[in-house]
Structure 1
């Protein structure tokens, strides 16, 4: 998700509210339990979402490779903590 979020940066997420296009959300990888991803929502139908990386210059995994993601269990990122505070 660089340059929006940098490696090692802290994040705070919440579960309440609707999933909306443009939000940054974290969720478990659909094929790798326990592996959490941070992506931007590019489309949603309420029950699932299409997620994409902000950095198109590098090869990343997103909905182009694993399809739509269930919105249940995802968190909306509401606060990014600067690395210098970590």
Structure 2
């Protein structure tokens, strides 16, 4: 199966965005462990990191779930009508 160029580009953007945010997320995790105040607890931030790593892996391996109109289910999250809910 050949991907259209614009679809591949969007996946590449997703991968790059995840790679760009990971160092900042890792720093936030280390800061929370050191007692530096900020948004999110260590376990919450580590959960987000794991989910982003899984999403990146799926994107790299071209195994993202199919997009359905108005509904997405990626890495245990469901989005309907603009609201993100943990499954």
Structure with the higher fraction of residues in strand conformation: 1
What interval of TM-score do these two structures reach, taking the shorter chain for normalisation? Answer: under 0.3
TM-score (norm 2): 0.23
Structure with the higher fraction of residues in helix conformation: 2
The structure having more radius of gyration, on CA atoms, is: 2
Ranked by relative contact order (alpha carbons within 8 Å, sequence separation 6 or more), the top structure is 1
TM-score (norm 1): 0.23
